[in-house]
Structure formats: C-alpha cells, structure tokens
C-alpha cells in the first residue's frame, strides 16, 4: 500500500515541522498556517491531513512519544536480552531529558502539550492517557525490581515511581543552561545509585 | 506617592489577568489584546503599562516569583525563628507545585515562561537569572545542612540541589490528574526523609 505509506510519511514530516515551530518560534505560533509554511506545503494540503489544530497537535505528540520509545529501544538493545532495571530506567530517563537534538525536540513538544492540556479537555484526556501508560510501565519495572531484590523491599513502589518520573524536572535547568548535561546525568546517576543500593548487577553509568 | 502605588496595583491586576489567560486559554492566546480584555482595560491603557508582550510577560513572571516567595515566607513564619532545613525545603517545594489555586497560577506561568525562553533571548536571560538565583538559595541551604549534620557529609551538595529542584517534575503528573496532591506530598516527604536520614530535628510532614 504505497499510498498509505506516503500518507504516514507526510504526516510525520508535518509533525517534525510542528516540533520546530514549537521549539524555535513558540506555542503562540502554533497554527495550521505556520506549520504548513514550515513543512513547505500549502494550508489546504495540511488540512487534507489534519482537520484541526488539536488533531495535528495530538498526532505530533503521539509521534514524539513513539520516537522516544524507539530511541529507548535502540539504546537498550546494547544491554543484551535482559537489561538490568537500573539501566532500563537510566535510558528511559535520559531519553526524556533534553540532552541531545532529538530528545530536545520531543521534550519541548511534550512541555507544550501539557500546557495545551490545561485548557482543552480532549488534549487533557489524551495527554493524561499517555502519562498514565508511561507511569504504569515504570511502576511495573519498580515492583519487579523489588521482587528481584534490586530495590530494597521497604521502598514504596508508588512513591518511588512518582519520584523517578519527577526527574524530568531537571528539564528547565538544562533548557535554561543552569546546569550542564553532565551535571544532569550525574544527578540521575546519584539518584539511581541510592535507589539500587547494595545491588551490584548494573552496568551503572558506563553506558554514556 | 499614591500615583506610584496605583501604577503598581494596576500592573499586578494585569499580571493576574495574564496568569488567567495562560491557565484558561493557553499561551497561544497570550497577546496584549487578550490580556487587556481579561483585565477589563483598553488595549491603549495596557500599552501605557507595558510597551511590549515580552515586557508584560517578564513582569508577570517576576510577580509570580515574588508571590511564591511571600507564600513561602508566611508558611515558614509558623516554624519559629530558626526553622529546620527539612521544613524550609518542604515549604519551598510544595509552594512550587500546583497544589492549590495560587500555586497553580504561578506554576503555570512559570512553565509558560520557560517555553517562551526557548525562542526569545531576553526572556531566556531573565528566566535563567531567576532560576540561577533560586538554585543558589537551595544549594546554600543544602551546604549548611551538611555542615550542621542534618544531611550526611558524603552527599554531593551540587547533585542534591539539582535533585531537590527536579521534584518540581511532579507538576505534569499533578496537572494531568495522574497522581493526587496527597501522593505528590507523600513522594516529596519520602524524598526528604531519605535526604535527612538519621536526623530527628525536623517537624517532618506535620505541617500539612
């Protein structure tokens, strides 16, 4: 189905154009017209792919999440068939932080999407769904790591999961050049070291 | 100088109108025209107070930081002349999270300001300055707590400071109703409990 593929490719080109508008010009410029211009297509052609600004935004966000998952998957492949939970968490967290161009684009898209969710019910529901799903994945990993003895059994899996996701709070510090990428990674590593206290199975910070 | 006071009051009214526009309609609507309408003044009158969108935004952000500091100050007054560093950090962190209406307004303003900073050099410099200042305050507090024996001496004050500020990363989870305010506070408390391990001098989570 070559036509189907073209359609998907075109939508992805549009999503990347949208990310650039968010990152370089700001959410205030995030209109169908500006995205069409950035993607190098006509306003009418854009409307062929997305009937509303919200639909376009949600596709761009889904595509951002998909790209992040793929980056995480590729990096985890280097750790063999059964990567240590510390390594999995480290890769997930560092790919969610704006530490390189691709991660920066998806991180900025994600921040803009949360702000959009505050005043749009549909965006709120979709953004919430994505975050609930991601959070469930991390909680499952934390619970398994407790069962497997990698994390101490007296740790509360719900609070630990929330604290791990909170590490994305390093984002404004990185984006505003308050801390360096190296300092951000050092903070993540110190955090994970303490979570996996006494556990020797992990490759630690050696992946970087 | 009653005229001076009026001027200040009017600017604060405008700043609050701007916060409402950000929270209820989104950054895409953040124009001088929309803020004037929300504040119930004419576009011309608004331009008397702010000559540009950026000037208006920066004032609104400064005012948000000021309001947050005042809330922190008022809550800390309840802890007596020399509050425990754990209590100081807990109050600072919880007032930065969107856990009640005022904190929600300033938190949303802050998130919007970071996004604006990505594509505006002047906003970037101002936002960075504010964050550097806030970060320095927290690092000073962490270093003093290590000297005073409240935090273990083997903790790295730079990484600990960055991790404390990262706790604001709970914000999207709270805003999108993925976790409850109670769960957010529980995560903050568990984090602080571990940072102040073995230290008995704090009022702990009893302030809430």
- The number of residues in chain B equals 208
State how far the Cα of A151 lies from the Cα of B36, in Å rounded to an integer: 54
Separation between Cα atoms, residue B119 and residue A25, nearest integer Å: 6
For residue B22, is pLDDT > 90?
Answer: no
CA dihedral B130, B121, B30, A107 (to 10 degrees): -80
Residue A104 sits in the same domain as residue A126: yes
Is residue A4 located within the same domain as residue A92? no
Answer yes or no: do A74 and A19 share one domain.
Answer: no
CB atoms within 10 A of CB B150: 21
The answer to whether A187 contacts B112, with C-beta atoms less than 8 Å apart, is: no
Closest CA to A84 of A180, A201, A190, A197: A201
Length of chain A: 208
pLDDT at residue B31, as a whole number: 85
Interface test with A, best of B179, B189, B195, B196 (most A CBs within 10 A): B179
For residue B145, pLDDT beyond 80: yes
Structurally, how many domains does chain B consist of?
A: 2
Asked if residue A32 and residue A73 are part of one domain, the reply reads no
Q: Is residue A208 part of a domain?
A: no
Percent of chain B's residues with pLDDT above 90: 60
Contact residues, chain A, for B30 at CB < 8 Å: 28
| A3 and A64 part of one domain | no
Of B27, B28, B178, the CB nearest to A132: B178
* Contact yes or no for A168 and B169 at CB 8 A: yes
Select from B164, B143, B184 the least CA-distant residue to A179: B164
Other C-beta atoms lying within 10 Å of the C-beta of residue A39: 20
Q: Which secondary-structure segment (H or E) carries B34?
A: helix B32-39
My answer on whether A165 and A175 are in the same domain is: yes
Which residues of chain A, if any, have pLDDT below 50? 203-208
Q: Is the pTM of this model over 0.95?
A: no
Examine the pLDDT at B156 and tell me if it is beyond 50: yes
Asked whether the predicted pLDDT for residue B205 surpasses 60, the reply is no
Segment B97-123 mean pLDDT: 91
CATH at residue B133: 1.10.357.10
CB A185 within 8 A of CB A99: yes
Q: Are A177 and B135 in contact (CB under 8 A)?
A: no
CB atoms within 10 A of CB A97: 23
B161 and B121 within one domain: yes
Please report how the helices A32-39 and A53-77 are oriented relative to each other, as an axis angle in degrees rounded to 10: 50
Q: Angle, nearest 10°, between helix axes B32-39 and B2-24?
A: 110
Chain A residues whose CB is inside 8 A of the B120 CB are 26
Name the residue among B95, B58, B86 with its Cα closest to residue B151.
B86
B192 → chain A, closest CA residue: A163
Judgement on whether residues A46 and A56 belong to the same structural domain of the protein: no
Report how far residue A182's alpha carbon sits from residue A42's, in angstroms, rounded to the nearest whole number: 42
In this structure, are residues A131 and B173 in contact, taking their beta carbons and an 8 Å threshold?
yes
Q: What is the pLDDT of residue A207?
A: 39
Phi, psi of A132 (to 5 degrees): -60, -45
Residue-range definition of the domain harbouring residue A20: 1-51
Whether B37 and B60 map to the same domain: the answer is no
Distance in Å, alpha carbon of B82 to nearest chain A alpha carbon: 29
- The lowest-confidence range among B21-30, B34-43, B127-136 is B21-30
Final residue belonging to a domain, choices B35, B51, B67: B51
> Is there a domain that residue A207 lies in?
no
Our CA dihedral for B26, B103, A131, A54, rounded to 10 degrees, sits at: -10
Give the per-residue pLDDT at A83.
93
Say which CATH number the domain at A45 has.
1.10.10.60
**What stretches of B50-100 show up as alpha helix (H) in DSSP?**
53-77, 85-96
Q: Number of CB pairs < 8 Å for A and B?
A: 151
Q: Cβ separation of A128 and B156 shorter than 8 Å?
A: no
pLDDT of residue A198: 57
Mean pLDDT of chain B: 89
Residues B77 and B103 in one domain: yes
Residues B157 and B183 placed together within one structural domain of the fold: yes
What's the rounded Cα separation, in Å, for the pair A196 and A52? Answer: 46
Inspect the interface and report whether the beta carbons of A176 and B124 lie closer than 8 Å.
yes
Element holding A172 (H helix, E strand):
helix A171-175
What are B158-192's pLDDT values in tens digits? Answer: 999 999 999 999 999 999 999 999 999 999 999 99
Distance CA A60, CA A106 (A): 9
Residues A39 and A115 in one domain: no
- Taking only the tens place, the pLDDT of each residue in A23-41 is 788 777 788 899 999 999 9
- Position A189 in a domain: yes
Quote the crossing angle between the two packed helices B101-117 and B121-147, to the nearest 10°: 120
Helix (H, G, I), strand (E, B) or coil at A40: coil
Nearest to A94 by CA among A167, A159, A39, A161: A167
- Which residues have C-beta within 8 Å of that of residue A55, sequence separation ≥ 6? none
């Amino acid at each position: 189905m070559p036509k189907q593929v073209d359609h998907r490719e075109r939508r992805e080109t549009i999503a990347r154009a949208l990310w650039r508008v968010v990152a370089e010009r700001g959410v205030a410029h995030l209109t169908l017209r500006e995205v069409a211009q950035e993607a190098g297509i006509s306003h009418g052609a854009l409307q062929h792919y997305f009937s509303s600004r919200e639909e376009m935004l949600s596709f761009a966000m889904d595509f951002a999440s998909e790209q992040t998952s793929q980056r995480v998957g590729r990096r985890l492949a280097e750790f063999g068939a059964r990567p240590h939970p510390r390594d999995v968490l480290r890769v997930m967290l560092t790919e969610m932080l704006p530490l390189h161009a691709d991660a920066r684009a998806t991180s900025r898209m994600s921040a803009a999407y949360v702000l959009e969710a505050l005043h749009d019910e549909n965006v709120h529901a979709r953004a919430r769904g994505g975050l609930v799903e991601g959070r469930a994945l991390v909680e499952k990993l934390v619970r398994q790591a407790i069962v497997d003895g990698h994390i101490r059994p007296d740790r509360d899996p719900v609070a630990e999961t929330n604290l791990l996701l909170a590490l994305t709070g390093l984002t404004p510090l990185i984006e505003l050049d308050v801390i360096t990428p190296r300092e951000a990674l050092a903070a993540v590593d110190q955090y994970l070291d303490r979570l996996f206290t006494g556990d020797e199975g992990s490759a630690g910070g050696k992946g970087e």
